Amino acid sequence: MRKTLGPQAFRSIHMLSLLGYLGATLHGFFAGTDSAFPLTQFLYVGTFLIVLFLTDYWIAEETLTKRELAEARLRTTRQQMRRTR
């Protein structure tokens, strides 16, 4: 699917889906007719925490991956410079 849409559209859809989820969760928690029930509140809070954790993990993974790639490129460049001396 990512190849069909392209990476930018794919990422945009994921970001918009997170905003949509947040909006639906807030709406259900504060305006839902069943939001007074403890089980419903547990489900809202539980799923919110899971999505929050996974989003945090996703962002951390992206950040570390970019940093690791940059460090690997720097090491490669340094090694090539040493060989040419």
Q: Please write the tens of the pLDDT for every residue from 6-23.
A: 888 988 998 899 999 999
Rounded to two decimals, what is the model's pTM? 0.67
Could you read off the pLDDT tens digit of each residue along the chain, which spans 85 residues?
778 888 889 889 988 999 999 999 999 888 888 888 999 999 999 999 999 999 898 888 888 887 887 888 888 888 888 887 6
Whole-number pLDDT of residue 20: 95
For the chain, what are the domain ranges? Answer: 2-84
Phi, psi dihedral angles at 51 (to 5 degrees): -65, -40
The predicted structure's pLDDT at residue 85: 67
* DSSP element (H, E) containing 82: helix 38-84
